[in-house]
């Protein structure tokens, strides 16, 4: 985990050896935290050490699915999957890029919302299938998980953001260059739903108004209201209405017991796939109620 006392510009990339796509997934779990002071040579050294190779060339994926060689650390961003070679070319076939199989689909998602609503709990429930009671609220972290949806594999790249950081600039970074967002509020706290309005406005500035950008609106901590209906401060109908306004799908979850958590991510992947399809194949945007 990133040390919260480190400079907030520290971010994490995942590194793997340059080998063909049959490489085992485990090597993708090796990571390096890039601090603002880190130099290129230090990055190579640290990467080589973690991978057990002499690190010489560094390749990063482009949005189009190819890999480009880079020479500077500022070409990296949080959550990147970086391929390290010992000097040989990227091992990706004639077109200079990795051969993209259907299973190489990659979806970049940010989990957004106010502090304390359960963004980290949801993310960790999904990625690791456990519930965290106490998670450092200042930690911003990137996770990867490969999931099968409708018989097709998808590599999800999740950015669990730190909601109490109200800096506009940070939010802008979290929301730029993503395929989808998960907007989270807590059904026992009405203000947490309203706090999402500013994320939505920023989304409209970044992605354009009326874009069919995939968003799931998550009303979390459903378990609290199941136990004690008086705890509910946002009704199902209010959640559904806000989702409609956001052009989102509404799903209520419990990170505590796992209810509907997988459904959030599966629905999200389907929406991303629909968006990628020709316009006449795009289905209705909202609102599935759970």
Ligand X SMILES: Nc1nc2c(ncn2[C@@H]2O[C@H](COP(=O)(O)OP(=O)(O)O)[C@@H](O)[C@H]2O)c(=O)[nH]1
Stretch of 26-34, 42-50, 215-223, 263-271 contacting ligand X, by CB under 6 A: 215-223
Query: 253 and 260 in contact (C-beta within 8 Å)?
Result: yes
Which stretches within the chain are classed as H helix? 40-51, 119-128, 168-175, 190-194, 196-207, 222-227, 236-246, 261-276
Considering only 254, 267, 269, 286, the residue that binds ligand X (CB under 6 A) is: 254
* Residue 258 binds ligand X, judged by CB under 6 A: no
Q: Which residues contact 70 (CB under 8 A, 6 or more apart)?
A: 58, 59, 60, 76
Does residue 93 have a cis peptide bond before it, meaning omega lies within 30 degrees of 0?
A: no
C-alpha closest to that of 44 among 85, 3, 7 = 85
Per the DSSP assignment, residues forming a β-bridge with 188 are none
Pick the binder of ligand X from 18, 78, 120, 249 (CB under 6 A). Answer: 120
Choose the stretch contacting ligand X; rule: CB under 6 A; options: 41-49, 56-64, 113-121, 229-237.
113-121
Nearer to Mg ion, 120 or 285 (CB): 120
121 vs 154, which CB is nearer to Mg ion? 121
- The option from ligand X, Mg ion, none interacting with 53 (CB < 5 to 8 A, set by class) reads none
Residues 96-125 binding Mg ion (CB under 5 A) are 119-120
CA dist 102 → 32, 70, 99, 106, 217 (Å): 28, 26, 10, 10, 28
Q: Which does 287 bind (CB under 5 to 8 A by kind): ligand X, Mg ion, none?
A: none
Burial of 210 (0-12, 13-18, 19+ CB in 10 A): exposed
Q: Tell me how far apart the alpha carbons of residues 12 and 77 are, in angstroms, rounded to a whole number.
A: 8
Is residue 224 involved in binding ligand X (CB under 6 A)?
yes
Site string for Mg ion, 9-48 (x = CB under 5 A): ----------------------------------------
Using CB under 6 A, which of the segments 75-83, 90-98, 110-118, 276-284 binds ligand X? 110-118
Q: What residues make contact with ligand X under the rule CB under 6 A?
A: 115-121, 132-135, 137, 163, 220-221, 223-224, 254-256
């Amino acid at each position: 985990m990133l040390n919260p006392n480190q400079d907030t510009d520290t971010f994490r990339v995942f590194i793997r050896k340059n080998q063909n796509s049959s490489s085992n997934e485990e090597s993708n779990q090796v990571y390096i935290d890039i601090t603002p002071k880190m130099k290129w040579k230090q990055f190579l050294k640290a990467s080589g050490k973690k991978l057990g190779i002499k690190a010489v060339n560094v390749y990063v994926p482009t949005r189009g699915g190819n890999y480009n060689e880079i020479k500077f650390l500022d070409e990296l961003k949080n959550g990147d999957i970086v391929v390290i070679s010992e000097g040989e070319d990227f091992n990706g076939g004639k077109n200079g890029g990795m051969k993209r199989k259907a299973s190489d689909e990659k979806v970049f998602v940010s989990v957004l919302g106010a502090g304390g609503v359960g963004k980290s709990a949801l993310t960790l429930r999904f990625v690791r299938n456990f519930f965290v009671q106490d998670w450092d609220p200042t930690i911003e972290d990137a996770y990867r998980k490969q999931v099968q949806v409708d018989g097709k594999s998808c590599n999800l790249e999740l950015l669990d953001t730190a909601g109490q950081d109200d800096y506009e600039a940070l939010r802008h970074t979290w929301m730029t260059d993503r395929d989808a967002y998960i907007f989270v509020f807590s059904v026992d706290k009405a203000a947490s739903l309203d706090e999402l309005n500013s994320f939505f406005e920023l989304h409209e500035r970044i992605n354009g108004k009326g874009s069919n950008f995939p968003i799931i609106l998550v009303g979390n901590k459903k378990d609290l209201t199941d136990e004690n209906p008086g705890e509910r401060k946002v009704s199902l109908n209010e959640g559904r209405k806000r989702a409609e306004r956001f052009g989102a799908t509404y799903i209520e979850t419990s990170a505590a017991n796992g209810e509907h958590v997988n459904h959030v991510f599966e629905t999200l992947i389907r929406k991303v796939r629909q968006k990628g399809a020709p316009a006449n194949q795009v289905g209705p945007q909202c609102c599935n109620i759970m």
